[in-house]
Amino acid sequence: MEEREREKTGIRDMEKDRWIVKVSPEMAAPSLKDNRGDVDRLLGGLRKALDGGEVSIDFGLAKRIPSTLREYGYELQAVLYKDTYSWHLVELFPSGLEGSIYGLAADLGTSTVVIRLLDLTTGATKDESSFLNPQVEVGQDILARIHFAAEKEGLARLKRCLIDRLNEEMAQLAQRNNFGTASLVGMCVSGNTTMTHLFLGLDPFWICREPYIPAINRPDLIKAAELGVALNPESPVMVIPNVGSYLGGDLISGILASGMTHQDEISILMDVGTNAEVVLGNREWLMGCAGAAGPALEGGVARMGMMAGPGVIDQVIADPETGEFRIRTIENKSPVGICGSGLIDLVAQLFLAGMIDLRGKYVESKCGRRLKEVDGVNHFVLVSSQDSGTGQELTLSQPDIDALIRSKAAMYTILTTITRMVNVSIKEIRNFYIAGTFGSYIDAQSAITIGMIPDLAPETYKPLGNTSLNGASMALLSAKAKEEIYEIRDRLTYIELNVNQEFMNLFSAAKFIPHTDNALFPSVRPWSSTG
Amino acid sequence: MEEREREKTGIRDMEKDRWIVKVSPEMAAPSLKDNRGDVDRLLGGLRKALDGGEVSIDFGLAKRIPSTLREYGYELQAVLYKDTYSWHLVELFPSGLEGSIYGLAADLGTSTVVIRLLDLTTGATKDESSFLNPQVEVGQDILARIHFAAEKEGLARLKRCLIDRLNEEMAQLAQRNNFGTASLVGMCVSGNTTMTHLFLGLDPFWICREPYIPAINRPDLIKAAELGVALNPESPVMVIPNVGSYLGGDLISGILASGMTHQDEISILMDVGTNAEVVLGNREWLMGCAGAAGPALEGGVARMGMMAGPGVIDQVIADPETGEFRIRTIENKSPVGICGSGLIDLVAQLFLAGMIDLRGKYVESKCGRRLKEVDGVNHFVLVSSQDSGTGQELTLSQPDIDALIRSKAAMYTILTTITRMVNVSIKEIRNFYIAGTFGSYIDAQSAITIGMIPDLAPETYKPLGNTSLNGASMALLSAKAKEEIYEIRDRLTYIELNVNQEFMNLFSAAKFIPHTDNALFPSVRPWSSTG
């Protein structure tokens, strides 16, 4: 009976781990015998509903309480969130008003922003939406934006355009799901260090200048109104903390999402973009490093390379019997370009077929008439102009391959270096988590074939999708996960990659397919060696 | 050596009890080996300087930190304050900048506002100033202001005029003492419940309506900027909490200032104004009540009555030999009126001289030609028109005395009732503290003579001056005193005075001079009985 009572009025068991909750405080109406002040009366009811937790009410909100209590006849629902020290009131709703409360998780990518709508009571994902980061207009990459931020009004413009776009998208999500934005009562934002700085309106000036200092590593919860985000004004916005300019909140939430810190086994989490970020560790320790891997994998280098989208080639398989190349495109549209996973497949197949050698150079005798010289540069024709969605041939040039090889060599060298620095053999890695949408499409065997990642059993490789968004969602829904974010941040040791002669030697050795030391890649067998 | 080091950089011993402090955090300049974010670097330095206390920085302030740290070359002084959970940054100053930090204690009286400037490092009082509460213009008394607050823009105007006037006064204090308002970093405000509501811009509507509910009992610390008070914007403003509509923060700080809660003996604290507030208690318990005592004592009734000021009669002594009345005026100016203490003296002397009887009625045969009838009402001429500073006679009418007797009877009845209710004999009272400027001027024996206060040994009566201001000053300077304020608030039990037949009987019995029961006032001896 008491439990049922609690179910109705107080914090429910299923919400015990929530840090944003809706409760129904019980309050006696004021009388001569009970003449507590309005705010103090509400606080008393809230403390009881929250099992005795401390509660504080922002002064701006406190002003409205006397009239609100009387309007609702002392029967109401309250939304609160918890920070390190106490609960804070977000909003009061009249008792009996149906409807849940919602929160948003956001992954602020440099190129793409993804937001996810979560029901904060059930924890269910209600909706998701993504859009091009509007900051792309003033700067394609992070460096361009940092420079733009230093111009007059630059920082304010970068912040404004992102938040305006976010607000539009939120309003649409709310409308599509039939609730008002007053029911949006929390947000958790993940992104690289520059992106979260721009979101917060913090000057990123020192991020890209030695010794590379962020304005802040670990922002406290900030009120939506203070940021201009169109949630309920008193809602908390959590920004996932960073470890420095190079290990951002997106990686921290990725670590949370991977679960690697709960395991005894050693895992690697790899996030590949323009930078490659690599985290190594387990329950006991956690090391991370970041290094330039080159933009080849993001579709930024190959002339036909592009981001995933309709008609983009995301898989290439060559038939050893016929020598034919079969492609798969997104949504089965006519091919218009190739994305990272397709490129890795293609280069792997070219190598297995002997059409490129171990330095990645085209072998004219094997390529035959698929090879074509333009301005003295070899191009491999993957799709003829007749079959192409653009009306033009889709080709892969020698420099495209060279760039990919530099990227994959950088990636492999980073992996080798960090494991050496922490004295772990690559063979000890039990889980190799691949973060990012890119990781979900990549074929592990192809990546092994070109020597981008170590030759571990394919099931070791676990694509996790958008770990930045998943981690942010977890932190928004769970007080425990939220605390874990801060623990991970404090535990994660940043390793400065020592780009010395040894690193350069390793890099040179990795610039072959799969590697100068073939013994490292026993599973890679060119057709000629098997056929 | 380590201690000396601490003296220089960290929180000093003498500041251990301060909750607003200035410290000099030590910080390493950023390097590749130490790439902490700017805010986190500062937080690290602050935590160390504060002996490991938790510190948080408001987001608005955090934004300025990267440029401020670099401007000051990572050598700076920080002002912080402590709330229940952690320290909060108020301001950063460059290292080596001389000068202290200052705070203001304020007593928001319905008629007069007094502010006191305190050096927050040494604890010294630097200056003091008082001014007429500008709200008097729209409403003389509390009720008028509550009604005015309900009008359009009324509340905002009441708040604005008070705060504007406060800000002017603060600026003058700062100028007079040669520092900028950026060095004003804390404030503690005491006042009755309506006054603190108006200061905070909280609607006092329900304070004067049954069941008399304040908007808030215990406000958290509020930032100066949020209130519009012209301290450093991030400075904390503490408003002394209330126990209800009738026991205000002025009384709570009075209790603190009296020290009665540190004693085993039972004390009474009495604050007399339009309302009489009485607190009874000791280390163990604390009871308070409030009742209408009538405005006679505040100079609001007697036609010649007025607030203390130059030329106002504050003492009257009659010579039993000659029957002459000698008066003392403030600043020895020609007499222009009489204040509460003078009025009590006068009536006491009139009674002792037999010029009024035990009902307070003029005895014509004793008064002789000093008595004068105007419109059928007896007036006692205290000062002739020749001697008067106004050019007019200063007289005390029969209705003036009647009003004073009702007031003193109410006061005595309240004292009798509360001691009976808590089962304490008046004889057990060891300290009888009298709060307020009024109390400093009052002659205990005169007040005993008219039967306003019990016939205890005169040394039992201890005028404490402006206890509201003194308590606010203590709470501003001492973390312990600040905590004690909240403890006192929580411990103080409000006793609803039961105005029943018994109360009315006691009241009737007290409407005599000194009382119907002369045995209660053995020290009161009319001249006739002694001469």
Contacts of A202 in chain B (CB under 8 A): 62-63, 66
Of A37, A67, A84, nearest to B213 by CB-CB distance is A37
Mean pLDDT of B149-176: 97
Q: What DSSP designation does B492 have?
A: P
- Find out whether the peptide bond into B514 is cis, omega within 30 degrees of 0: yes
Give the pLDDT confidence score for residue A327 in this predicted structure.
Answer: 94
Mean pLDDT of B399-409: 91
Coil vs helix vs strand at A353: coil
- Nearest Cα residue to A297 out of A482, A439, A155, A171: A439
**pLDDT (tens digit per residue) in A62-107:** 999 999 999 999 999 999 999 988 999 999 999 988 889 999 999 9
**pLDDT (tens digit per residue) in B22-32:** 999 999 999 98
CA A84 to chain B, closest CA, distance in angstroms equals 9
- Distance, CA of A210 to CA of B165 (rounded, Å): 50
**Residue B58: both structure tokens together:** 């408001």
pTM here is 0.91
Q: Is B32 in Cβ contact with A214 (below 8 Å)?
A: no
Residue type, A380: F
User: Which residue bears the tokens 């209660």?
Assistant: B520
Give the pLDDT confidence score for residue A439 in this predicted structure.
Answer: 74
- Nearest Cα residue to A438 out of A274, A233, A304, A326: A274
Q: pLDDT at residue B296 above 50?
A: no
CA B516 to chain A, closest CA, distance in angstroms equals 33
Q: pLDDT at residue B393 above 60?
A: yes
Percent above pLDDT 70 for chain B? 94
Mean pLDDT of B170-191: 96
Mean pLDDT of B127-141: 94
Give the pLDDT confidence score for residue A255 in this predicted structure.
Answer: 98
Give the pLDDT confidence score for residue B4 in this predicted structure.
Answer: 47
Give the pLDDT confidence score for residue A291 in this predicted structure.
Answer: 80
Contacts of A200 in chain B (CB under 8 A): 59
- Distance, CA of B56 to CA of B72 (rounded, Å): 20
**Residue A269: both structure tokens together:** 């989490």
CA B147 to chain A, closest CA, distance in angstroms equals 16
Indicate the pLDDT class of residue B297, thresholds 50, 70 and 90. low
Q: Which regions in chain A score pLDDT beneath 70?
A: 1-15, 273-274, 293-305, 529-531
Give the pLDDT confidence score for residue A428 in this predicted structure.
Answer: 94
**pLDDT (tens digit per residue) in B30-41:** 998 899 999 999
Q: Quick one: which H or E segment has residue B167?
A: helix B154-176
Residue type, A22: K
Percent above pLDDT 90 for chain A? 80
Contacts of B63 in chain A (CB under 8 A): 201-203, 215
Q: Is B218 in Cβ contact with A56 (below 8 Å)?
A: no
Q: Which residues contact B372 (CB under 8 A, 6 or more apart)?
A: B378, B379, B380, B381, B395
Q: Which residues of A64-84 are buried (b: 16+ CB within 10 A; e: fewer)?
A: ebbebbeebebebbbbbbbbe
Distance linking the first and last C-alpha atoms of chain A:
75
Q: pLDDT at residue B140 above 80?
A: yes
Indicate the pLDDT class of residue B5, thresholds 50, 70 and 90. very low
Contacts of B245 in chain A (CB under 8 A): 35
Q: Is the Cβ–Cβ distance between A81 and A99 less than 8 Å?
A: no
Give the pLDDT confidence score for residue A501 in this predicted structure.
Answer: 86
- B contact residues 243-272, partner A, Cβ 8 Å cutoff: 244-245
Of B36, B213, B222, nearest to A30 by CB-CB distance is B213
A73 at the B interface (CB within 8 A)? no
Mutate to test the interface with A, among B216, B239, B497 (most CBs of A within 10 A): B216
Distance linking the first and last C-alpha atoms of chain B:
75
Give the pLDDT confidence score for residue A304 in this predicted structure.
Answer: 67
CB pairs under 8 A between A and B: 131
**pLDDT (tens digit per residue) in A187-218:** 999 999 999 999 999 999 999 999 999 999 99
Contacts of B242 in chain A (CB under 8 A): 37
Question: How far is CA A236 from its chain centroid?
Answer: 20
Q: pLDDT at residue B12 above 80?
A: no
Give the pLDDT confidence score for residue B321 in this predicted structure.
Answer: 87
Give the pLDDT confidence score for residue B1 in this predicted structure.
Answer: 38
| Residue spans of beta strands (DSSP E) within A15-136 | 20-23, 55-56, 76-82, 87-94, 102-108, 112-119, 125-132
Of A38, A59, A216, nearest to B38 by CB-CB distance is A216
Of A57, A84, A211, nearest to B30 by CB-CB distance is A211
Least confident of A345-349, B378-382, B495-499: B495-499
Dihedral sign (CA A344, A348, A350, A351) = positive
**pLDDT (tens digit per residue) in B319-340:** 988 888 999 999 999 999 998 8
**pLDDT (tens digit per residue) in B437-464:** 777 788 999 999 999 999 999 999 999 9
User: Which residue bears the tokens 């109401």?
Assistant: A76
Give the pLDDT confidence score for residue A305 in this predicted structure.
Answer: 67
Mutate to test the interface with A, among B59, B82, B212, B495 (most CBs of A within 10 A): B59
Look at strands B236-239 and B184-191 and give their pairing: parallel
